[in-house]
Amino acid sequence: MRKFGFLITMIFATILISCNSEKSKTNSESENLNYSEKEPDTLTKHLKPFKAELPTIGLLMYNGVLQSEVIATSDVFAKPTEDGKQLFNVISIAETKNLITTEEGMRFVPDYTFEDCPKLTALFVPSAYDMYAQVNNKKIVDFIKEKNKETKFIVSNCAGAKLIGASGIADGKKIVTWIGGGKQLQKDYPNLRVQNDSLVTFVEDGKFSSSNGNLASYISALNLLEKMTSAEHRKFVESYLYLDRLQSWNQ
């Protein structure tokens, strides 16, 4: 009788443990499901789709690029309208899909290569502190030449003017470079009309425009943004970026 009672007790205990185990498993699965449902999708939420009907802004990149000159352009053109509509495709382009390491040490993965780059409306050419490798890279120079045939606008910032000079696409046009670099730029590329960089921050001549670079890259980007949209949208983007706070930060 005692054996029978012991057996009944063991069976009941086994059933109880099994039920609790299943309940725990069900609760765990439910919690995981709820967490998955609530977890924000931080990639696709911010990923802007490429829309063929929109103008495409191309940001040239290479190792050693000054990241402020790339970020400034993307900062300006990636902003939506006041009612949230996307106005541009903003893409980065490099010779290969390998990681690009900026002068400041950040790393970026290019969206496109020279081979598969879509048609561009505007091409922005940034700089590096040492432009020797870029100016002597035939693939980069040839890419700029080819894109000049289809683009409506070409913009250089800082020493990116050297690549414009090497390509020959802006011969006879006004151009400005980094503060202190104008004399050498004129010597290297005598067909350019190099402006006095100690006095000129930004200059525009036909489809070509240029700036001193670094944070002045916002000027070249905002100027082109206004040409491609409106003065009202430029003001909206400036307010979006708090540029008024930057202009009066030391007051």
pLDDT digits (tens, 9 = 90+) for 99-118: 999 999 999 999 999 999 99
- Kindly compute the dihedral angle of the four CA atoms of residues 34, 40, 43, 45, in this order, to the nearest 10 degrees: 120
Give me the sheet containing 122-125, strands edge to edge.
Answer: 112-113, 89-94, 56-60, 122-125, 153-157, 208-211, 202-205
pLDDT digits (tens, 9 = 90+) for 146-204: 999 999 999 999 999 999 999 999 999 999 999 999 999 999 999 999 999 999 999 99
Rounded to whole angstroms, the Cα distance separating 72 from 233 reads 16
8 Å CB contact between 91 and 122: no
Query: Given a cut of 50, is residue 69 above it in pLDDT?
Result: yes
DSSP-derived letter for residue 128 is B
Instruction: Give the global pTM.
Output: 0.82
DSSP-derived letter for residue 243 is H
pLDDT digits (tens, 9 = 90+) for 113-151: 999 999 999 999 999 999 999 999 999 999 999 999 999
**The predicted structure's pLDDT at residue 11:** 45
Amino acid at position 222, single letter = L
Rounded to whole angstroms, the Cα distance separating 61 from 59 reads 6
Using CA atoms, how far residue 249 sits from 201, 216, 219, in Å, is 20, 16, 18
8 Å CB contact between 181 and 212: no
Hey, which residues does 202 pair with through a beta bridge? 211
Outline where 45-131 has alpha helix (H): 67-77
Query: Given a cut of 80, is residue 28 above it in pLDDT?
Result: no
Hey, which residues does 251 pair with through a beta bridge? none
8 Å CB contact between 76 and 225: yes
